[in-house]
Each structure stands twice: as structure tokens, then as C-alpha cells.
Amino acid sequence: MSIVVRTLSDRVFEVVREQILKGRLRNGEPIRQDALATELGISKIPLREALARLEQEGLLINHPNRGYYVQAMSREQVDEIYALRLSIEPQAAAYASSVATDDDRAVAMRAFGALDTAAHSNLADVAVRNREFHIALVEPGRRPLTTQLVERLEVLAERYVIAHLEPAGRDARAHIEHQALFNAWLERDKRKVEKLLKEHIQGTLKDLRAQLKAPD
């Protein structure tokens, strides 16, 4: 049995992260540390620790002498994130499908189930479960650097996942794509896994480019 000790900074990190993902702290908005610390009933020390972690995750940007701001979402960033995902993730998941152990497959099954359940709850939770599912398809490859890169990109993509799923019907389409992808992964069909995951990422990118295009 493992015991996970969560510090106050950990809890603050999760609360502020959720506020950003849900849009309560908006793109480009400054983080008013005094007001936020008062709202959360904490000192500024754990808040600063949490904000530094959020900067590392790409959700905040620290301007010298001005403090933290919510990192703005942009078409340029989504292009970069999804291009990197396309270059790494499909091949990694395909390879992992061929070497996954029974335990790995059980972990992936639980991750898929959690994502399916989250689809009926709030979008912030869906984004987290989506990340965990995609990582579960890659991690069995036992290539730590690849897994770390995929996880980093999935974290950066979470706000875009939420934005992508907001229009009606997108959640149903995502479920169908994830189900087909997972079936191919369980069947150890490397070629099909790579193909379906590429199509899934490319389809999401196409939608996001349309959503984030500059106004005329």
C-alpha cells in the first residue's frame, strides 16, 4: 500500500489549475495573489509554490516586476503542441500496444473507463481523464523520455481539449474515436493504432484551428 502525502501547495495547485481550465481565471488575466490567498484562506508561500508549478506546466507566465498572468491560448501554440504530438504519440502508442503486459492493459482499461465516466461530468475532469488515457496507451513502451514528453504535451493540451469539446456533438465523436483507437490497441494492431491516433489528433487540430482563427 502506498501513501500519497499531498501538501497545501499541492491542493492550491489543483484548485488554481482547475480555475484556469474552467475559465474562471481567463486568458491573459493577472493573478492577484493577495486576493487569491484571501479567497483560499492561505498564506502566500504555498500560493507562490503552486504558481511556480503552474508556470512550469505552461498555464501561467511570469512577467518581471508585474507578476503572474494566465498564459493566453493561441493558434500558434496549438499548432506547435499538436505538431509535436503527431511526431511522437502515434508511433509511441503503436509500439506500446505490441509490448503491453496484462497489467498495462488493465491500467489502460481503467483509464478508458474513467474517461468514459468523466464524459458525463465537467469538462475539466474530462481533460484530466483524457490525458491519463492517452498516457496509458504510451507508457507500456517503457521509454521514460517518450512518456515524459507525451505527458508534458498532454498537460499543455488540456485547455484546448476543453475548448474542442465545448461545441455540441464533439464529445460523442471523441468517444467513438477513443473506442476505436482503444480496440485497436487491445488487439495489438500497431498499424491501425498509429493510423487512428494520427487521424484523431489531426481532426482535433483542424477543429481548433477553425475555432482559434483570427477574426476578419
Phi/psi of residue 22, nearest 5 degrees: -85, -5
C-alpha cell at 55: 508556470
C-alpha cell at 65: 516586476
User: What pLDDT is stored for residue 214 in this prediction?
Assistant: 53
Mean pLDDT throughout 62-81? Answer: 91
The verdict on domain 75-211 having CATH code 1.10.260.40 is no
Q: How many whole angstroms separate alpha carbon 33 and alpha carbon 39? A: 10
Residue extent(s) of CATH 1.20.120.530 domains in the chain: 75-211
CATH assignment of 8-70, among 3.30.1330.10, 3.30.300.30, 4.10.520.10, 1.10.10.10: 1.10.10.10
Q: How many whole angstroms separate alpha carbon 152 and alpha carbon 207? A: 22
**Binning pLDDT at 50, 70 and 90, where does residue 6 land?**
low
- Across the chain, mean pLDDT equals 89
| Res 86 pLDDT > 50 | yes
Does 133 or 20 have the greater pLDDT score?
133
Q: How many whole angstroms separate alpha carbon 125 and alpha carbon 133? A: 12
Statement: the pTM of the whole predicted model exceeds 0.85: no
C-alpha cell at 143: 521509454
Residue extent(s) of CATH 1.10.10.10 domains in the chain: 8-70
User: What pLDDT is stored for residue 123 in this prediction?
Assistant: 74
State percent of the chain over pLDDT 70.
95
**Binning pLDDT at 50, 70 and 90, where does residue 4 land?**
very low
